[in-house]
Structure 1
Amino acid sequence: MGTLVTLDLPADAPALTLPWIITVGPLNDEEEWEPVVCGPYERAHALALAEAVVADEELMAVVEPLQPHVTVDQIQGDIAASRMAAENEDLETAALDAELAGFEDHDHDHDDDHTHEPPSVDEIRAGFARIAAKLTN
Protein backbone atom coordinates (compact mmCIF):
# COMPACT_ATOMS: atom_id res chain seq x y z
CA MET A 1 0.00 0.00 0.00
CA GLY A 2 1.25 3.48 -0.90
CA THR A 3 0.87 6.90 0.63
CA LEU A 4 -1.44 9.79 -0.18
CA VAL A 5 -0.46 13.30 0.89
CA THR A 6 -2.68 16.34 0.61
CA LEU A 7 -3.37 19.65 2.29
CA ASP A 8 -5.57 19.54 5.37
CA LEU A 9 -7.78 22.57 4.77
CA PRO A 10 -10.73 24.02 6.66
CA ALA A 11 -14.14 23.43 5.07
CA ASP A 12 -14.38 27.06 3.92
CA ALA A 13 -10.88 27.32 2.41
CA PRO A 14 -10.92 29.02 -1.02
CA ALA A 15 -8.36 26.50 -2.31
CA LEU A 16 -11.01 23.77 -2.15
CA THR A 17 -12.72 25.29 -5.19
CA LEU A 18 -9.52 25.42 -7.28
CA PRO A 19 -8.54 22.74 -9.79
CA TRP A 20 -6.32 20.05 -8.21
CA ILE A 21 -3.54 17.90 -9.62
CA ILE A 22 -2.11 14.54 -8.66
CA THR A 23 1.63 13.87 -8.74
CA VAL A 24 2.48 10.16 -8.47
CA GLY A 25 6.00 8.92 -7.92
CA PRO A 26 7.98 6.14 -6.31
CA LEU A 27 7.63 5.74 -2.56
CA ASN A 28 11.12 4.39 -2.07
CA ASP A 29 14.57 5.42 -3.24
CA GLU A 30 15.16 2.09 -4.98
CA GLU A 31 12.97 3.05 -7.93
CA GLU A 32 14.01 5.87 -10.21
CA TRP A 33 11.46 7.26 -12.65
CA GLU A 34 9.97 10.65 -13.34
CA PRO A 35 6.80 11.38 -11.40
CA VAL A 36 3.55 11.46 -13.35
CA VAL A 37 1.41 14.60 -13.05
CA CYS A 38 -2.31 14.30 -13.81
CA GLY A 39 -5.18 16.74 -13.79
CA PRO A 40 -6.72 19.14 -13.34
CA TYR A 41 -9.54 17.59 -11.33
CA GLU A 42 -11.99 18.72 -8.74
CA ARG A 43 -10.57 17.98 -5.30
CA ALA A 44 -12.88 15.05 -4.48
CA HIS A 45 -12.09 13.38 -7.81
CA ALA A 46 -8.35 13.93 -7.36
CA LEU A 47 -8.42 12.37 -3.88
CA ALA A 48 -10.48 9.37 -5.01
CA LEU A 49 -8.27 8.72 -8.03
CA ALA A 50 -5.08 9.07 -5.98
CA GLU A 51 -6.38 6.70 -3.30
CA ALA A 52 -7.24 4.10 -5.94
CA VAL A 53 -3.77 4.41 -7.51
CA VAL A 54 -1.83 3.98 -4.27
CA ALA A 55 -4.15 1.38 -2.72
CA ASP A 56 -2.23 -1.65 -3.99
CA GLU A 57 1.18 -0.27 -4.97
CA GLU A 58 4.17 1.23 -3.19
CA LEU A 59 3.64 4.71 -4.63
CA MET A 60 3.31 8.20 -3.23
CA ALA A 61 0.56 10.45 -4.53
CA VAL A 62 0.52 14.16 -3.72
CA VAL A 63 -2.81 15.93 -4.31
CA GLU A 64 -2.53 19.72 -4.42
CA PRO A 65 -4.37 22.72 -5.82
CA LEU A 66 -3.28 24.55 -8.94
CA GLN A 67 -2.75 28.27 -8.67
CA PRO A 68 -4.33 29.60 -11.88
CA HIS A 69 -2.36 32.82 -12.16
CA VAL A 70 -3.51 35.01 -15.02
CA THR A 71 -0.80 37.68 -14.99
CA VAL A 72 2.96 37.75 -15.17
CA ASP A 73 2.94 39.84 -11.97
CA GLN A 74 1.21 37.06 -10.03
CA ILE A 75 3.76 34.49 -11.20
CA GLN A 76 6.66 36.84 -10.51
CA GLY A 77 5.24 37.51 -7.05
CA ASP A 78 5.32 33.80 -6.24
CA ILE A 79 8.86 33.55 -7.62
CA ALA A 80 10.01 36.53 -5.51
CA ALA A 81 8.44 35.03 -2.41
CA SER A 82 10.19 31.73 -3.07
CA ARG A 83 13.54 33.45 -3.59
CA MET A 84 13.21 35.48 -0.38
CA ALA A 85 12.47 32.33 1.57
CA ALA A 86 15.51 30.59 0.12
CA GLU A 87 17.79 33.51 1.05
CA ASN A 88 16.92 33.30 4.71
CA GLU A 89 17.38 29.87 6.22
CA ASP A 90 15.15 30.68 9.18
CA LEU A 91 12.32 31.69 6.88
CA GLU A 92 12.86 28.58 4.79
CA THR A 93 12.69 26.32 7.82
CA ALA A 94 9.60 28.08 9.13
CA ALA A 95 7.89 27.87 5.74
CA LEU A 96 8.68 24.17 5.43
CA ASP A 97 7.40 23.49 8.94
CA ALA A 98 4.22 25.41 8.18
CA GLU A 99 3.74 23.58 4.89
CA LEU A 100 4.28 20.18 6.46
CA ALA A 101 1.87 21.03 9.27
CA GLY A 102 -0.82 21.57 6.63
CA PHE A 103 -0.29 18.17 4.99
CA GLU A 104 -2.19 15.14 6.15
CA ASP A 105 -1.01 11.60 5.46
CA HIS A 106 -3.98 9.52 4.28
CA ASP A 107 -2.45 6.15 5.04
CA HIS A 108 -5.66 4.17 5.52
CA ASP A 109 -6.19 0.49 6.09
CA HIS A 110 -7.76 -0.96 2.97
CA ASP A 111 -9.97 -4.04 2.75
CA ASP A 112 -8.74 -6.87 0.56
CA ASP A 113 -12.00 -6.97 -1.42
CA HIS A 114 -12.04 -3.55 -3.06
CA THR A 115 -11.01 -0.22 -1.67
CA HIS A 116 -12.26 3.16 -2.83
CA GLU A 117 -14.07 3.35 -6.10
CA PRO A 118 -12.59 6.05 -8.32
CA PRO A 119 -15.01 8.41 -10.08
CA SER A 120 -16.33 7.32 -13.45
CA VAL A 121 -15.07 8.78 -16.71
CA ASP A 122 -18.34 10.70 -17.06
CA GLU A 123 -17.98 12.15 -13.55
CA ILE A 124 -14.42 13.26 -14.28
CA ARG A 125 -15.42 14.82 -17.60
CA ALA A 126 -18.25 16.69 -15.86
CA GLY A 127 -15.65 17.91 -13.36
CA PHE A 128 -13.43 19.08 -16.24
CA ALA A 129 -16.37 21.10 -17.58
CA ARG A 130 -16.98 22.70 -14.20
CA ILE A 131 -13.26 23.57 -13.87
CA ALA A 132 -13.20 25.04 -17.38
CA ALA A 133 -16.26 27.17 -16.57
CA LYS A 134 -14.57 28.48 -13.41
CA LEU A 135 -11.38 29.33 -15.27
CA THR A 136 -13.15 31.15 -18.09
CA ASN A 137 -15.52 33.21 -15.92
Structure 2
Amino acid sequence: MGALVTLELPDDSPAFELPWIITFGPLGDDDGWEPVVCGPYERPHALALAEAVVADEDLMAVVEPLMPHVSVDEIRAEIAAARMAIEDDEPDDVIGPDEPPVVSPPTAPPDPEEIRAGLDRIAARLSTYT
Protein backbone atom coordinates (compact mmCIF):
# COMPACT_ATOMS: atom_id res chain seq x y z
CA MET A 1 0.00 0.00 0.00
CA GLY A 2 1.35 3.42 -0.98
CA ALA A 3 0.97 6.93 0.35
CA LEU A 4 -1.04 9.93 -0.82
CA VAL A 5 -0.02 13.48 0.07
CA THR A 6 -2.11 16.57 -0.60
CA LEU A 7 -2.76 20.02 0.82
CA GLU A 8 -5.14 20.57 3.69
CA LEU A 9 -7.17 23.57 2.63
CA PRO A 10 -9.99 25.55 4.23
CA ASP A 11 -13.39 24.81 2.72
CA ASP A 12 -13.51 28.20 0.98
CA SER A 13 -10.03 28.03 -0.58
CA PRO A 14 -9.87 29.30 -4.18
CA ALA A 15 -7.32 26.53 -4.87
CA PHE A 16 -10.20 24.04 -5.17
CA GLU A 17 -11.10 25.67 -8.49
CA LEU A 18 -7.60 25.31 -9.96
CA PRO A 19 -6.51 22.38 -12.11
CA TRP A 20 -4.69 19.72 -10.06
CA ILE A 21 -1.84 17.38 -10.95
CA ILE A 22 -0.62 14.10 -9.53
CA THR A 23 3.05 13.23 -9.20
CA PHE A 24 3.70 9.52 -8.72
CA GLY A 25 7.08 8.42 -7.46
CA PRO A 26 8.84 5.71 -5.52
CA LEU A 27 8.02 5.47 -1.83
CA GLY A 28 11.74 5.24 -1.06
CA ASP A 29 14.73 7.00 -2.60
CA ASP A 30 16.39 3.84 -3.90
CA ASP A 31 14.10 2.76 -6.78
CA GLY A 32 15.97 4.85 -9.36
CA TRP A 33 13.08 5.85 -11.63
CA GLU A 34 11.88 9.35 -12.40
CA PRO A 35 8.52 10.50 -11.03
CA VAL A 36 5.53 10.53 -13.38
CA VAL A 37 3.36 13.65 -13.50
CA CYS A 38 -0.26 13.33 -14.63
CA GLY A 39 -2.99 15.89 -15.13
CA PRO A 40 -4.45 18.40 -15.02
CA TYR A 41 -7.62 17.21 -13.33
CA GLU A 42 -10.34 18.58 -11.14
CA ARG A 43 -9.35 18.00 -7.51
CA PRO A 44 -11.84 15.22 -6.73
CA HIS A 45 -10.76 13.34 -9.86
CA ALA A 46 -7.07 13.75 -9.03
CA LEU A 47 -7.60 12.46 -5.50
CA ALA A 48 -9.64 9.50 -6.69
CA LEU A 49 -7.10 8.52 -9.36
CA ALA A 50 -4.18 8.86 -6.96
CA GLU A 51 -5.93 6.77 -4.30
CA ALA A 52 -6.68 4.04 -6.84
CA VAL A 53 -3.09 3.84 -8.08
CA VAL A 54 -1.37 3.82 -4.68
CA ALA A 55 -3.88 1.40 -3.13
CA ASP A 56 -2.08 -1.65 -4.52
CA GLU A 57 1.48 -0.38 -5.07
CA ASP A 58 4.36 0.92 -2.95
CA LEU A 59 4.19 4.38 -4.51
CA MET A 60 3.82 7.92 -3.29
CA ALA A 61 1.29 10.20 -4.97
CA VAL A 62 1.40 13.95 -4.42
CA VAL A 63 -1.80 15.75 -5.45
CA GLU A 64 -1.38 19.50 -5.77
CA PRO A 65 -2.90 22.46 -7.58
CA LEU A 66 -1.29 23.99 -10.62
CA MET A 67 -0.54 27.57 -9.75
CA PRO A 68 -0.89 29.66 -12.91
CA HIS A 69 1.63 32.32 -11.95
CA VAL A 70 2.23 34.63 -14.88
CA SER A 71 5.29 36.56 -13.76
CA VAL A 72 8.74 35.86 -12.40
CA ASP A 73 7.92 37.91 -9.30
CA GLU A 74 4.86 35.74 -8.51
CA ILE A 75 6.94 32.58 -8.90
CA ARG A 76 9.74 33.98 -6.73
CA ALA A 77 7.21 34.95 -4.05
CA GLU A 78 5.85 31.38 -4.04
CA ILE A 79 9.39 29.97 -3.77
CA ALA A 80 10.21 32.40 -0.94
CA ALA A 81 7.07 31.37 0.94
CA ALA A 82 7.97 27.68 0.55
CA ARG A 83 11.51 28.35 1.75
CA MET A 84 10.29 30.30 4.75
CA ALA A 85 7.91 27.49 5.67
CA ILE A 86 10.68 24.89 5.60
CA GLU A 87 13.12 27.15 7.47
CA ASP A 88 10.59 27.46 10.27
CA ASP A 89 10.60 23.65 10.57
CA GLU A 90 14.37 23.03 10.27
CA PRO A 91 16.77 22.91 13.21
CA ASP A 92 19.44 25.62 13.24
CA ASP A 93 22.34 23.18 12.81
CA VAL A 94 21.41 21.81 9.36
CA ILE A 95 24.51 21.57 7.16
CA GLY A 96 24.18 22.15 3.41
CA PRO A 97 25.71 20.06 0.61
CA ASP A 98 29.49 20.01 0.13
CA GLU A 99 29.29 21.23 -3.46
CA PRO A 100 27.29 24.13 -4.86
CA PRO A 101 24.41 23.17 -7.15
CA VAL A 102 24.93 23.27 -10.91
CA VAL A 103 22.97 26.21 -12.28
CA SER A 104 22.12 26.65 -15.96
CA PRO A 105 22.45 30.12 -17.38
CA PRO A 106 19.13 31.95 -17.13
CA THR A 107 16.95 32.44 -20.17
CA ALA A 108 14.58 35.33 -20.63
CA PRO A 109 11.21 34.38 -19.13
CA PRO A 110 8.10 34.77 -21.22
CA ASP A 111 5.97 37.78 -20.44
CA PRO A 112 2.62 37.35 -18.67
CA GLU A 113 0.61 37.64 -21.89
CA GLU A 114 2.59 34.79 -23.49
CA ILE A 115 1.93 32.63 -20.44
CA ARG A 116 -1.79 33.45 -20.51
CA ALA A 117 -1.91 32.61 -24.23
CA GLY A 118 -0.19 29.30 -23.44
CA LEU A 119 -2.75 28.52 -20.75
CA ASP A 120 -5.51 29.27 -23.27
CA ARG A 121 -3.92 26.85 -25.75
CA ILE A 122 -3.67 24.15 -23.07
CA ALA A 123 -7.33 24.65 -22.14
CA ALA A 124 -8.36 24.44 -25.79
CA ARG A 125 -6.42 21.19 -26.26
CA LEU A 126 -7.90 19.68 -23.13
CA SER A 127 -11.43 20.63 -24.15
CA THR A 128 -11.08 18.73 -27.43
CA TYR A 129 -9.31 15.68 -25.99
CA THR A 130 -11.26 12.46 -26.39
TM over 0.5: yes
Using the TM superposition, give the Cα deviation of residue 23 of structure 1 relative to its aligned residue in structure 2, in angstroms. 0.5
Per-residue CA shift, 1:66-100, capped at 9, x if unaligned?
11012333224334x25973xxxxx643267xxxx
- Greater mean deviation of Cα atoms: 68-77 or 20-29: 68-77
- 2:77 & 2:66 partners in 1: Cα distance? 16
By relative contact order (CA 8 Å, sep 6+), the higher-ranking structure is: 1
Using the TM superposition, give the Cα deviation of residue 41 of structure 1 relative to its aligned residue in structure 2, in angstroms. 0.8
Which TM-score applies when normalising by structure 1? 0.58
- Matched letter for residue 93 of structure 1: E
* Residues 1:62 and 1:77: Cα distance change in structure 2 (over 3 Å): same
Q: How many residues align?
A: 93
Max Rg structure:
2
The runs of at least 4 consecutive aligned structure 1 residues that moved more than 6 Å come to none
- Matched letter for residue 75 of structure 1: I
CA RMSD, Structure 1 to Structure 2 (Å) = 2.5
Residue 84 (structure 2) pairs with residue 93 (structure 1): no
Per-residue CA shift, 1:10-55, capped at 9, x if unaligned?
2111111111110000012331111011111110010011011101
- 1:16 & 1:82 partners in 2: Cα distance? 20
Residue 126 (structure 2) pairs with residue 132 (structure 1): no
Which TM-score applies when normalising by structure 2? 0.61
- Which structure shows the higher helix fraction? 1
- 1:84 & 1:55 partners in 2: Cα distance? 31
